[in-house]
Structure 1
């Protein structure tokens, strides 16, 4: 079965793919510079700090000496990442020796940021204007409800509460890789879509953001403006109110889309309207790093393949249905079983055994999180075995050769096919062999030359 993997955490790869001029435009904002800095591996961050007040180019050979030989590979990864995002610019002297110089805009803005801190282009509205604002708990519940509603739309639109609709731009984002549809049929989850649902929230969020930005030009929006606004949004204060009048037209449209995802909450006052960033929005830049935010798990798996999820969420129930048989649902408990049939259905949809096991481990209930292993070993082994059962036979187009005039010619043909890596099977007693179909023409030419 082909493995289709959703790449979720390469948002900065998309930023790096921007033209040099647009990338430099992003670095006009100190907040963008900090967000980019946060995304770097530790060694790259160290190089940025070391070079921050160095104005002349630093020879590549000299930088190589900053690390021990056993860390040469990490050094290369760090330098490559810095060059990709144009934080470092490669320069060559007359002798064609390579040196690295920090991007002037990035360097200047980071120096200012370290000395005086950053200043957002908008200030929070005073309480006298907004009145009572949602508490952080209320805001987090709102964000969770919106995000779950968004994901439920992916799984099954009938599960979404009536009155909930998504904008055309969001639906286009759905269609880009997560949903597939045929003529006259309703859109269904693609293999990428099924895998997407098993990701952690931060990874899901950045995947959606990446696709949303990728489709910006189709909506007549400059992707650079969206990237800048999204990263800037992550530095706003969670729970504070910011006036919509401070936004550009592009940002206003983006805010409406982000509201559907639960990144912001919109409120209307007597004279002014404002948006309130939720935890999802303020976590945007921190989501760039590989460290995942910890969350309390809900799943307990027993050695008899029974599965218990302590949750009242419709979303959790639907996700568990992707690879298990949900038997009944109580107000705060979902009971199911991992069966061969349910797993085969998951494998048919492109979900792998490792993704299922990883999901069960990442979402383990606190009572079992400290156990070793978290998921019973007999369960994980059986999940892998059932996946292997489906992959035991591989269909390969091939050709069979028989009725050789002599033993010598048969052996010569076997040797020729074996040397080229196309021999699939041979029977020396009956002088028969099977080769890959790609090698058929070559084998015919070889036989013709032997006659």
Structure 2
């Protein structure tokens, strides 16, 4: 929720808190003690003195009055808890709109549509509506999300089948948020092949709830570029979905047009399942999946172990690492195996066991693609088998040190055949730099202000490009110089 904490105004939150679903959803996301503070103030008609609130929290009444800012920053940043100064004393009160919205959500006295409108099928099922049970929705949502994660980790290793490739809008979002990037061919030209980035691998280490919120926040911020009015209906929809009942069908036709369009995007990620109305052809019926209904629970997948979260039970550690760099992975999960395949050399595969080894070439290839030693170590630690916890330290120190050494090798000098170009005009340097980046020719660049024999300093820019691409780059530079000469 960082983007909501970034200096938003009271008017902004006043409008946002008009939705009971938003108020209840944010309340569920807050830490336990922050929720206790809200419940203590929710039914009070008057403000609470700062000294009384400190006593409630078990603090010294004489403690500094910035305790809300330091200990409960979300209450402060989201303007849920506001301070009032009167006759030298500090009082605390809930934001009026938040107070009204949360009261309405808890008592059922709010808007009838705040938490969705139940879909009413036509008599005799003539609209083609069907009932999906909870297990089907769980399998659908989790399957969609795991398919996305599997594509992220395996798209570069092999050509994905068409039915395994996410929709274009999903891939575009993964590219825009930096979780994946396009691969260059041997001639330094972009291809349609995608690979996971260092940021993307870190994304896999997050728990499933954090993963989904991260994707949703990128999606919201992308929409905010075109219109701020996009933000309010989307947030209201997300918090409404988080408070809907798993296994119940809801009516999409009762939603505003912006929210109906967003439902299509959410379906691509597995947050909802949509059904078309047979007579009209419209997708009026939708089911929220567990990914959506648990958005505000902090535990979207019951396992809660990031990409490794299981569909039902809590996942235990499954990796055993030996001092000889051998890894035993007690798993049959295709996603877990695909992630391991990024940085280990898999030697043997049994029904419930994978045997592999941390080889220099395999690890260096992973590091070349942006995965760091710290991330590999974090992954091995997070998913260590319970038997490993008998060791002190948990991971063999020789293996950990070797991973760091392989990582440092990336900082050594690389030898490349190259061509150097110097520019004395800043505008021409910037144009040429942009072109070098476009054709993936850039190796290194720097700028400075240098003395030109007088008192004033002049701009100096250097661009170094791959020798194999120096000819088209030189042709572009010569053409630009001619253009500048013609325009004076």
Range class of TM-score, shorter chain: 0.7 to 0.9
TM-score by length of 2: 0.67
Where do residues 22-421 of structure 1 align in structure 2 (5 Å cutoff)?
Answer: 22-69=12-59, 76-95=69-88, 97-116=89-108, 119=112, 120-126=115-121, 129=125, 131-157=129-155, 158-163=158-163, 164-168=165-169, 171-181=172-182, 184-186=189-191, 187-220=194-227, 222-271=230-279, 273=283, 274-287=285-298, 293=304, 295-297=314-316, 299-303=318-322, 305-313=326-334, 315-329=335-349, 333-353=353-373, 355-363=375-383, 368-369=385-386, 371=387, 373=389, 377=393, 379-390=395-406
Q: Give 1:193 deviation, angstroms.
A: 1.3
Q: Is the 8 A contact 2:119 2:249 kept in 1?
A: yes
TM-score by length of 1: 0.72
After superposition, the Cα gap between the structure-2 partners of 1:226 and 1:92, relative to the gap in structure 1 and judged at 3 Å, is same
Query: RCO (CA 8 Å, sep 6+): is it higher in 1 or 2?
Result: 1
Unaligned runs of 5+ in 1: 1-11, 396-451
Q: Is the 8 A contact 1:194 1:349 kept in 2?
A: no
Distance 2:97 2:138 in 1: 36
Unaligned runs of 5+ in 2: 306-313, 412-488
After superposition, the Cα gap between the structure-2 partners of 1:300 and 1:79, relative to the gap in structure 1 and judged at 3 Å, is closer
Q: Give 1:378 deviation, angstroms.
A: 6.5
Distance 1:236 1:286 in 2: 12
Q: Is the 8 A contact 1:328 1:334 kept in 2?
A: yes
Cα deviation 1:142-180 (Å, max 9, x = unaligned): 222211222234334455331444243651343222134
Q: Are 2:20 and 1:15 aligned? A: no
Q: Give 1:111 deviation, angstroms.
A: 2.1
- CA RMSD, 1 decimal: 3.6
Q: Is the deviation greater in 327-336 or in 231-240?
A: 327-336
Cα deviation 1:179-219 (Å, max 9, x = unaligned): 34578314543321121123222221111111111111235
Matched position secondary structure for 1:335: strand
Cα deviation 1:55-83 (Å, max 9, x = unaligned): 33333344233333489797654443211
After superposition, the Cα gap between the structure-2 partners of 1:58 and 1:125, relative to the gap in structure 1 and judged at 3 Å, is same
After superposition, the Cα gap between the structure-2 partners of 1:257 and 1:332, relative to the gap in structure 1 and judged at 3 Å, is farther
Distance 2:235 2:136 in 1: 28
Q: Is the 8 A contact 1:324 1:343 kept in 2?
A: yes
